[in-house]
Structure 1
Amino acid sequence: MMMVKLLRSGRRQLHTIITRELIKPSSPTPPHLKTYNLSSVDQLFHQTYIPLILFYANNGDCSFSTKHIAQEMKKSLSHSLTRYYPFAGRLPTPTTPYVDCNDEGVIFVEAKNDSQLKTFQDITEQDRNMDHLFADGLVCENYPLSTNIAGVQLNHFACGGVGVAVSMSHIIGDGSTLGSFVNHWASVARYGSLDHQEVLALNPHFVQYPKTLHIQPKSPVNQAYANLVTKKFLFTNTKLSHLKNKVNQVAAAGSTPRINNPTRVEVLTSLLYKTAITAAMKKSGYFKPSYLLMPVDLRDKLVEKLPQTTVGNLLALMMVPTTHETEISLSAMTAEIKKAKSQLQGVQSVQHAAENLQSLMSKFVNEGFEDVAKRSYVCSSLCGFPFNKVDFGWGKPTSGILALKPADSNGFVLKDTPDGDGIEALVILEKEDMEIFQNDKELLSFGNISE
């Protein structure tokens, strides 16, 4: 057993590693699947990890017995890995363009923490440091570079609740891939069989890519800004409906192009982006051309559409430029977002998506990456991702958190509220901009700061 003492919230926190082992697939991977080639888009991602932790409260349910949880989770993970076979493999080196599907296994750590589960749910996003809740510290940038594809840590809290922490290498997949994997694993645990009809629908879909040379990402490492701060804002579905109505009314008046049924995410992204640009203008006293960057899931946008359970980084980067002060309006920005999204419809192939990403990276480099980065806002939406519904057999989680490191660029991260009645927006801005942003009257008429 390894004990770690951590100072948190003014007290010493005792974190104890109980066991650490490798979970292998319940049956060996067939010889013809021993090599999983990464796509050209996969290779554009640095070897970082997407860290998800799901919190489950102990509500006194007899099925929620911490004594048997670890055993059941290991067994179901082993079965699930026969489908998600690359996850049990290794990268021969951190830069190798393929996974060796050698069935070495997924790291599974069981740990005990003397804190209450509520401690980690209540602390602010900016102060949250949960590296010790993840197996081998596989959180975001991991040094020295690991060749592991995935890791799991089961955390038992003093209250009887648990935290299931899953790390997945970004080089093998995006947020959709992680969501599909976790839901497949949970369904195997819940139904007890790989062949159950509810599980079969969640089976992964793999695209076979030709073996290629390693593609070196062309974008430089982002410049870190020491004065970035993070705050969370809440927007209920009722308020978001009012926001959609406002955007539609302005567009109907003819001052901007007509907008066909904007989504909650589109209008909220427009509001956040508009407010951020306005705050930057008030701080500097003048307008600077800005960019909104949004990763977009391509699974349903490729010419040959792919299932949502497709493994990989099926992403494109959408860019919405704001080049003139007259373009700063909710309806104009929403229209531009929908226009940019429509232009991604009918992408020919994953290779074309990779070429577009490389072209965009080159554009940033040619225009002076650091200057462009300071005028860019990256918006990542996790709305609709099934993290809040992951049920291993003891109910849905009280919350699901991506334990991301403090961001090094301006932006927004959107996700559904745990009760499904709105969107949580994590806003990352420079300190002076945030002071103006958080007091914007239009913003506060649709949402409020979450303390």
Structure 2
Amino acid sequence: MACFSTTGNLHPLSPTRVEAVIALTWKASIEAAKVTSSKDQASKTWMSLPVNIRRRMVPPLSDNSLGNIWLPALTPLIEMDEMVELNDYAKLVRKTVRKVDGDYVSKFQQGDAIGISQVFLETFNEEMLTMIEDCPSYRYSSWMGFPLYERDFGWGKPTWVYTLGVPSKWYFNLLPTRSGDGIEAWGNLSEEDMQQFERNPELLQFASLAS
């Protein structure tokens, strides 16, 4: 498990901080996997992120509404070798997150079975369904935007906040730093991949690492 924080921004796309960190860590993870994987292993990958839909619903829900009110943002299955530059990842992440818009959410709100099926078929085509289990699926979860450090249960505000992640490979959990100007990203990769990940020069331009 590794932790890093960054306040860096990508140019010229200017994605959100979460999109920037996803693009950066996803790229570093794939580059690590290319070094450690054998030639007969999968050459394709995909990424998923739960997206908070409170403000995307009609009418929008309060930010204080409780529950798992989210829908998945899923990239298509992509060839690892097709993704070269950091902006390639940033563009794909940005496009994927923005697919979860008002129209996307309304199909679920209205119970539009045909519309829902079309949404998923755009991502889960026949090729992806046959290969998805064998491909590295980089899953992200973001707690950014939640006032975690403002909560006081009677003992004062917390000095540090963390949430239990999913104990599986290729998983990243994003949380705010206490100062509010950075992101902590807790990643779960294989030991071999993590060794390569932590040495990634592009990653080190934006992040400080801790074990």
TM-score bin (small chain):
0.7 to 0.9
C-alpha displacement of 1:377 = 0.2
1:317 to 65, 68, 72: 72
State the partner residue of 2:4: 233
C-alpha displacement of 1:333 = 1.4
- What TM-score, normalized by structure 1, do the two folds share? 0.40
After superposition, the CA RMSD in angstroms is: 2.8
C-alpha displacement of 1:436 = 0.8
1:414 to 174, 182, 191: 174
State the partner residue of 2:21: 268
Q: Give the paired residue count.
A: 201
Separation in structure 2 between the aligned mates of residue 437 and residue 305 of structure 1, nearest angstrom: 39
* Mapped contact 1:267–1:330 kept (Cα < 8 A): no
C-alpha displacement of 1:305 = 2.1
Separation in structure 1 between the aligned mates of residue 63 and residue 4 of structure 2, nearest angstrom: 29
Separation in structure 2 between the aligned mates of residue 324 and residue 381 of structure 1, nearest angstrom: 24
CA gap 1:332/1:352 in 2 versus in 1, 3 angstroms:
farther
For residues 2-51 of structure 1, give each alpha carbon's deviation from its aligned partner in whole angstroms, at most 9, with x where no partner exists: xxxxxxxxxxxxxxxxxxxxxxxxxxxxxxxxxxxxxxxxxxxxxxxxxx
Separation in structure 2 between the aligned mates of residue 352 and residue 276 of structure 1, nearest angstrom: 37
State the partner residue of 1:427: 187
Letter in 1 for 2:160: S
- Comparing 432-441 with 360-369, greater Cα deviation is found at 360-369
Letter in 2 for 1:412: F
1:370 aligns with 2:133: yes
State the partner residue of 1:344: 100
State the partner residue of 1:439: 199
Separation in structure 2 between the aligned mates of residue 393 and residue 278 of structure 1, nearest angstrom: 45
* Mapped contact 2:73–2:99 kept (Cα < 8 A): no
CA gap 1:361/1:400 in 2 versus in 1, 3 angstroms:
farther
Larger strand fraction of residues: 1
CA gap 1:296/1:282 in 2 versus in 1, 3 angstroms:
same
1:333 aligns with 2:89: yes
Separation in structure 2 between the aligned mates of residue 362 and residue 315 of structure 1, nearest angstrom: 22
C-alpha displacement of 1:393 = 4.8
CA gap 1:358/1:332 in 2 versus in 1, 3 angstroms:
closer
- Comparing 309-318 with 288-297, greater Cα deviation is found at 309-318
Separation in structure 2 between the aligned mates of residue 310 and residue 363 of structure 1, nearest angstrom: 37
1:290 to 39, 42, 45: 45
Separation in structure 2 between the aligned mates of residue 361 and residue 352 of structure 1, nearest angstrom: 18
State the partner residue of 2:61: 306
* Mapped contact 1:233–1:427 kept (Cα < 8 A): no
* Mapped contact 1:298–1:316 kept (Cα < 8 A): yes
C-alpha displacement of 1:404 = 3.8
Following TM superposition, the consecutive aligned residue runs of length 4 or more in structure 1 with deviations greater than 3 angstroms are 349-366
Separation in structure 2 between the aligned mates of residue 342 and residue 280 of structure 1, nearest angstrom: 27
Which structure has the larger Rg over C-alpha atoms? 1
| Ranges in structure 1 where 5+ consecutive residues have no aligned partner | 1-229, 249-258
* Mapped contact 2:162–2:175 kept (Cα < 8 A): no
| Ranges in structure 2 where 5+ consecutive residues have no aligned partner | none
* Mapped contact 2:49–2:140 kept (Cα < 8 A): yes
- Comparing 334-343 with 347-356, greater Cα deviation is found at 347-356
Separation in structure 2 between the aligned mates of residue 289 and residue 345 of structure 1, nearest angstrom: 27
Separation in structure 2 between the aligned mates of residue 288 and residue 317 of structure 1, nearest angstrom: 23
% of aligned pairs identical? 30
